[in-house]
Amino acid sequence: MKKICVILLGILCLLAGGCSKKSFWEQKEVRLIINAKLEEAKDDEPTKESDYQISQELNAALNDLKGGISEFFKFEYDIDVSKKLEKMAIRVFSQKVSGDGFTGGYTEKGKSYININECIFTDYPEYIISSYLHETMHYIGFISENQTMIDDGMAEYMAAKVASFIGITYLPSECYSYYTLIAEQLCAVNEEYLVKAYLTKKDFDVCEHIEETLKNVNQSCLKVDSIGDHLNLMVETLGKDYGNYSYGMAFEAQEIVACYCRQFSPSKEQIEKIRSSYFVEDFEEVKIKEVEGGYIII
């Protein structure tokens, strides 16, 4: 996973409590308050082929899951992923693992295999199936042109649904919990479209889609050139510790996701689903106040 460092150019925050009398779910504005820039650090250490061989038995068991995955997408969304899945192989790689953490797999768009870290087979066998399902979701299409952590949220969300359909246990990755919450909210209002777009549109990019969906929304505080890029920037910080700025960035991501959801005039039931996946506490009560030089959350 990419490491990032953050340079904060200024924080603002702002606004408002009081400017709109509309209810939270009727508001047309998006409140962007953070002017921040993230710089990517170098990628993790390069990976290399591993000597580890998956046993024929395990390979056959994992291959068997392909049938259930295909059935799920046919049944739920009328999409046939079986031919694509037939070609999918597993590449086992080796990578130095730091500390107690373990590194999962990764998938590159357009490749005919998924990559799984050998340590999953040797040290964390309970994660084999979950890791396989997660990477397989990327492989069949849950991966954007500019890979984002929202794709990981979608992969987690879909992998859990597939596991439930097949009747097996899915062990979610703790480091993806924020991203899964985003995926749950987006899917609460537009799941059918998102799944079809990911799986059938060649160049689908989820942040561009969100940008397009929000193109006519009023940016009532700070103005940014691209809400999609801004969301990406904020999402990249979720789950990382940037001290006092972390809350602001989580708020910003949640604000954009909620604004996306509002565009679909969600029903009461959908609103409850969205609320159950908020990652900012008391989100709807958050107020923004304009101060000298910017905006603050109060």
Supply 240's token pair.
């990382």
Supply 83's token pair.
């031919």
Query: By CB under 5 A, is residue 152 in contact with Zn ion?
Result: yes
User: Alpha-carbon distance 192 to 195, whole Å?
Assistant: 5
Query: By CB under 5 A, is residue 184 in contact with Zn ion?
Result: no
3 state DSSP class of 166:
helix
Piece of the chain touching Zn ion by CB under 5 A; list 16-24, 113-121, 149-157, 218-226? 149-157
Determine contact, residues 145/205, Cβ cutoff 8 Å.
yes
Tokens 């609103």 belong to which residue?
271
Supply 152's token pair.
């990981």
User: Alpha-carbon distance 206 to 212, whole Å?
Assistant: 10
User: Alpha-carbon distance 239 to 260, whole Å?
Assistant: 21
Count the residues of the shown chain that bind Zn ion, applying the rule CB under 5 A.
2
Pick between residue 121 and residue 176 the one whose CB is nearest to Zn ion: 176
Q: How far is the CB of 281 from Zn ion (least distance, A)?
A: 26
Q: How far is the CB of 228 from Zn ion (least distance, A)?
A: 20
Pick between residue 29 and residue 152 the one whose CB is nearest to Zn ion: 152
Pick between residue 155 and residue 256 the one whose CB is nearest to Zn ion: 155
Pick between residue 15 and residue 155 the one whose CB is nearest to Zn ion: 155
Pick between residue 183 and residue 224 the one whose CB is nearest to Zn ion: 183
Q: How far is the CB of 146 from Zn ion (least distance, A)?
A: 14
Alpha carbon distance, N-terminus to C-terminus of the chain: 33
Q: How far is the CB of 22 from Zn ion (least distance, A)?
A: 38
Pick between residue 155 and residue 233 the one whose CB is nearest to Zn ion: 155
Query: By CB under 5 A, is residue 156 in contact with Zn ion?
Result: no
Q: In 10 A of CB 213, how many CB atoms?
A: 18
3 state DSSP class of 26:
helix
Q: How far is the CB of 150 from Zn ion (least distance, A)?
A: 11
Report the DSSP pairing between strands 48-49 and 89-94.
Answer: antiparallel
Piece of the chain touching Zn ion by CB under 5 A; list 24-32, 145-153, 205-213, 239-247? 145-153
List residues near Zn ion by CB under 5 A.
152, 155
